[in-house]
């Protein structure tokens, strides 16, 4: 520690936040860092990593928000990430956030962190809720029993944050925790013996906490085993001997016993610190839960919530989308074409870059509002219940309740949908959900349905568009079932979802979550889609004969010579059975890059612009071939940006699989649709 002190002025200290899920950790993170965050992934995982900066009393901190966890036992990915960080990165200080409403469980985690041997400050959060429920938690008793600072806070109201910052600064000069849970004579003796053996193999300067390592080794903790194996595999055998001996005396598995001892200690401390102050009020949570998890009413209530969420996302967003559309398809292009620039450059910027940025931003109002609605439902506490309510239905589709969130997001855009699968712990469930999500009809596909339905199904327009959404859900379910049967055969490990008490949403926390998710969407989708639109532009103004001139974007004769047109001709024979011409095939090629571009591309290809497209479609499609085309657009390949996301989340292999599967599915379904139609005598 003395080494730290000397260079304190220049050194940046490492601060980590640890807490159970739903304990208000993000709010405390925001209060400490001022909301500034770099968001990425922990190396080699899809677990989200959030890092920010804070200055407290002139001292600079790097603040790392560890995932919400219940213990440090490396059983789930989140826990493994957390324990690895604490042991390998050796943060200078750890803030453990305790839930005053659930003290015992919070203390269990706190004890696990103390045992690692780091400097700890505890924030005793949600004291207002605890008091509302008729009991008080004495932070001074906790301080005395645990030997660390414990600061009562109400993070959402900013209460206690100043004191917490001060305690962080003060504790920095204290020695790390030496708190020990007493595991009983037999286990303690084994820990001691094992610890001194490990010490013998410890590389110089490693500063391992050998007591912690020894106790975790006895528990057969995955991460401890890995660490010790690196030191000397012989140690594992010694540990095994100790364990077998102890288990014989105990008559039960050692890890179970150790967890229980730690729990006992936690509840002993909790009972000393808790004071019952008054009469308990009848909890609102119980009442609401009774309704929303009800056997009969649960699902209708959830559907209503989802319906309202979509109304919000689509109705409120419409004027905003129109505004974005006006700016990017009328105002900016005319502004750019009025600038003195060579035609090529002006078209590249106007029809390529600006159109590309526009095609991302056009979805932002929808997606931001969906994110907002989800953050609201999440903070209120409903989302966990929704996952629970739909679990029974989702189980039939071989998915879990938690799959509902990615699938819902998918209606806005498949990209955040695929990204949201991270929250699913079970690997098989996660992959199945991620590959089923692109079947969900995103907002980008809607314009295609609208144009086709408007052109050929005037009277049944609404029903035809709705049928596409129905198909999308059916195919998502089918995909999940097929994947489960063929690829991800393992039985789902099952879920444990915490149902947090209901709370009024806090504007700060909801806005921050929404903003963070929008930012990630813009970064991910933005870069890919803008690049793709520029590529489409390039393929339209060049062809096998070379540069065609930007006139190709308005001239159907010329665009037939471009790469887009030429490839459309190559593809035409493949789609002849469905009755689609080369223009329809070319538009599909464009749609692979970004589905919202299909309509615009058709306007150019038929030489009629978007206004005259209805007429052109009505004359080159029959209702049957048009319906097949709509089905094809729904199902064929996720757009490039979604594929890139699948690759990022699951690897190249799965992106390829998604591509091949969806192409095959779309083609078979479209062909089947036309075939059945002919049999029934529909034209």
Partner 1 sequence: MTPLAFTREGRLVRVVEVRGGRGLTRRLAEVGFTPGSTLRVVSSSRGPVVVELCYSSASRCSSCGSCWRLALSFGLAMKVMVEEVESVERT
| Chain positions contacting partner 1, by CB under 8 A | 70-71, 73, 75-76, 101-105, 108, 129, 133-135, 220, 253, 255-256, 259-260, 263, 267, 270-271, 274, 276, 280, 282-283, 285-286, 289, 293-295, 384, 387-388, 391-392, 395, 400-401, 491-501
Which of 36, 148, 162, 160 lies closest to 94 in space, CA to CA? 148
Eight-state DSSP code of residue 555: -
Cβ closest to partner 1, residue 65 vs residue 221: 221
Cβ closest to partner 1, residue 7 vs residue 249: 249
Cβ closest to partner 1, residue 323 vs residue 497: 497
Cβ closest to partner 1, residue 495 vs residue 515: 495
Strands 546-547 and 542-543: antiparallel
To partner 1, the closest distance from the beta carbon of 247 in angstroms equals 12
Cβ closest to partner 1, residue 189 vs residue 395: 395
Question: CA 211 to CA 191: how far, in whole Å?
Answer: 7
To partner 1, the closest distance from the beta carbon of 231 in angstroms equals 23
Cβ closest to partner 1, residue 316 vs residue 499: 499
Cβ closest to partner 1, residue 11 vs residue 222: 222
To partner 1, the closest distance from the beta carbon of 85 in angstroms equals 19
β-strand partners of 39: 50
Dihedral pair phi/psi, residue 124, rounded to 5°: -90, 90
Cβ closest to partner 1, residue 386 vs residue 415: 386
To partner 1, the closest distance from the beta carbon of 287 in angstroms equals 8
At 112 the three-state DSSP class reads helix
Cβ closest to partner 1, residue 315 vs residue 498: 498
Are 254 and 219 spatial neighbours (Cβ–Cβ below 8 Å)? yes
To partner 1, the closest distance from the beta carbon of 567 in angstroms equals 48
Cβ closest to partner 1, residue 70 vs residue 636: 70
Distance from the Cα of residue 290 to its chain's centroid = 29
Which of 164, 72, 64, 65 lies closest to 113 in space, CA to CA? 72
To partner 1, the closest distance from the beta carbon of 190 in angstroms equals 18
Are 91 and 67 spatial neighbours (Cβ–Cβ below 8 Å)? no
Which uninterrupted H or E stretch holds 51?
strand 48-56
Cβ closest to partner 1, residue 22 vs residue 414: 22
To partner 1, the closest distance from the beta carbon of 423 in angstroms equals 15
Distance from the Cα of residue 646 to its chain's centroid = 12
To partner 1, the closest distance from the beta carbon of 38 in angstroms equals 30
To partner 1, the closest distance from the beta carbon of 301 in angstroms equals 14
To partner 1, the closest distance from the beta carbon of 387 in angstroms equals 8
To partner 1, the closest distance from the beta carbon of 560 in angstroms equals 57
At 144 the three-state DSSP class reads helix
Angle (CA) 319 324 329, round 5° = 125
Query: In terms of DSSP H, where are the helices of 312-403?
Result: 317-326, 332-337, 343-347, 355-361, 364-380, 382-396
To partner 1, the closest distance from the beta carbon of 75 in angstroms equals 5
Cβ closest to partner 1, residue 101 vs residue 550: 101
Which of 401, 439, 504 lies closest to 642 in space, CA to CA? 439
Are 666 and 580 spatial neighbours (Cβ–Cβ below 8 Å)? no
To partner 1, the closest distance from the beta carbon of 80 in angstroms equals 13
Cβ closest to partner 1, residue 132 vs residue 447: 132
To partner 1, the closest distance from the beta carbon of 398 in angstroms equals 13
The angle, 0 to 180 degrees and rounded to 10, between the axes of the packed helices 652-679 and 623-635 is 160
Cβ closest to partner 1, residue 137 vs residue 443: 137
β-strand partners of 65: 17, 50
**Alpha-carbon distances of 418 from 424, 433, 478, 486, 528, rounded to whole Å:** 11, 8, 17, 21, 15
Question: CA 460 to CA 462: how far, in whole Å?
Answer: 6
At 182 the three-state DSSP class reads coil
Residue 607, phi-psi category: left (phi > 0), alpha (psi -120 to 50), beta (remainder):
left
To partner 1, the closest distance from the beta carbon of 495 in angstroms equals 5
At 527 the three-state DSSP class reads helix
Structure-block tokens of residue 195: 């610890």
Cβ closest to partner 1, residue 237 vs residue 268: 268
Which uninterrupted H or E stretch holds 63?
strand 59-65
Question: CA 602 to CA 585: how far, in whole Å?
Answer: 10
Task: Map 580-645 to HEC letters.
Answer: CCHHHHHHHHHHHHCCCHHHHHHHHHCCCCCCCHHHHHHHHCCHHHHHHHHHHHHHCCCCHHHHHH
Angle (CA) 595 572 594, round 5° = 10
């Amino acid at each position: 520690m003395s080494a730290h002190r000397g260079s304190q002025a220049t050194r940046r200290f490492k601060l980590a936040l640890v807490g159970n899920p739903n304990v208000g950790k993000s709010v405390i993170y925001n209060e400490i860092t001022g909301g500034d965050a770099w968001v990425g992934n922990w190396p080699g995982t899809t677990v989200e990593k959030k890092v920010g900066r804070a200055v407290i009393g002139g001292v600079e901190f790097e603040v790392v928000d560890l995932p919400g966890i219940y213990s440090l036992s490396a059983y789930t990915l989140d826990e493994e990430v957390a324990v690895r960080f604490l042991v390998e990165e050796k943060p200078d200080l750890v803030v453990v956030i305790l839930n005053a409403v659930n003290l015992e469980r919070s203390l269990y985690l706190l004890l696990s962190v103390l045992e690692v041997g780091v400097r700890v400050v505890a924030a005793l959060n949600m004291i207002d809720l605890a008091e509302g429920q008729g009991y008080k938690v004495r932070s001074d008793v906790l301080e005395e029993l645990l030997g660390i600072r414990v600061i009562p806070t109400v993070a959402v109201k900013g209460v206690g944050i100043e004191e917490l910052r001060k305690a962080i600064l003060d504790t920095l000069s204290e020695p790390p925790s030496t708190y020990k849970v007493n595991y009983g004579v037999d286990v303690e003796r084994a820990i001691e013996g094992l610890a001194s053996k490990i010490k013998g193999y410890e590389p110089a300067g490693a500063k391992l906490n050998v007591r912690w390592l020894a106790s975790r080794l006895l528990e057969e903790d995955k991460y401890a085993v890995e660490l010790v194996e690196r030191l000397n595999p012989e140690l594992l055998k010694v540990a095994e001997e100790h364990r077998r001996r102890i288990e014989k005396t105990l008559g039960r598995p050692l890890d179970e016993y150790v967890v229980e001892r730690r729990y006992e200690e936690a509840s002993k401390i909790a009972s000393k610190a808790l004071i019952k102050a008054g009469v308990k009020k009848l909890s609102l949570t119980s009442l609401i839960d009774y309704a929303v998890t009800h056997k009969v009413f649960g699902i209708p209530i959830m559907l209503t919530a989802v319906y309202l969420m979509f109304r919000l996302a689509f109705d409120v967003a419409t004027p905003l989308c129109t505004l974005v559309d006006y700016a990017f398809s009328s105002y900016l292009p005319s502004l750019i074409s009025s600038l003195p620039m060579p035609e090529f450059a002006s078209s590249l910027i106007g029809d390529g870059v600006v159109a590309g940025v526009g095609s991302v931003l056009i979805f932002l109002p929808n997606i931001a509002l969906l994110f907002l609605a989800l953050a609201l439902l999440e903070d209120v506490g409903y989302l966990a219940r929704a996952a629970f309510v739909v679990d029974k239905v989702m189980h039939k589709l071989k998915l879990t309740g938690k799959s509902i969130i990615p699938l819902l997001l998918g209606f806005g855009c498949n990209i955040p949908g695929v990204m949201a699968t991270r929250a699913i712990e079970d690997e098989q469930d996660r992959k199945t959900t991620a590959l089923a999500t692109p079947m969900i009809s995103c907002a980008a596909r809607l314009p295609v349905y609208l144009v086709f339905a408007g052109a050929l199904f005037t009277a049944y327009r609404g029903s035809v568009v709705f049928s596409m959404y129905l198909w999308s859900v059916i195919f998502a379910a089918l995909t999940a079932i097929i994947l489960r049967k063929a690829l991800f055969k393992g039985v789902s490990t099952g879920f444990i979802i915490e149902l947090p008490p209901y709370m009024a949403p806090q504007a700060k926390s909801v806005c921050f979550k929404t903003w963070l998710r929008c930012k990630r969407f813009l970064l991910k989708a933005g870069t890919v889609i803008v690049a793709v639109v520029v590529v489409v532009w390039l393929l339209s103004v060049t062809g096998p004969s070379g540069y065609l001139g930007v006139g190709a974007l308005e001239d159907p004769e010329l665009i037939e010579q471009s790469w887009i047109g030429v490839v459309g001709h190559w593809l035409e024979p493949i789609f002849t059975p469905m009755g689609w011409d080369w223009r329809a095939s070319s538009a599909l090629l464009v749609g692979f890059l970004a589905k919202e571009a299909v309509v615009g591309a058709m306007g150019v290809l038929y030489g009629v612009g978007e206004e005259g497209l209805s007429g052109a479609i009505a004359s080159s499609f029959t209702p049957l071939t048009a319906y097949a085309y709509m089905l094809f657009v729904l199902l064929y390949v996720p757009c490039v940006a979604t594929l890139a996301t699948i690759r990022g989340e699951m690897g190249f292999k799965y992106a390829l699989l998604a591509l091949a599967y969806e192409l095959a599915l779309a083609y078979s379904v479209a062909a089947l649709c036309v075939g059945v139609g002919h049999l029934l005598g529909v034209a």
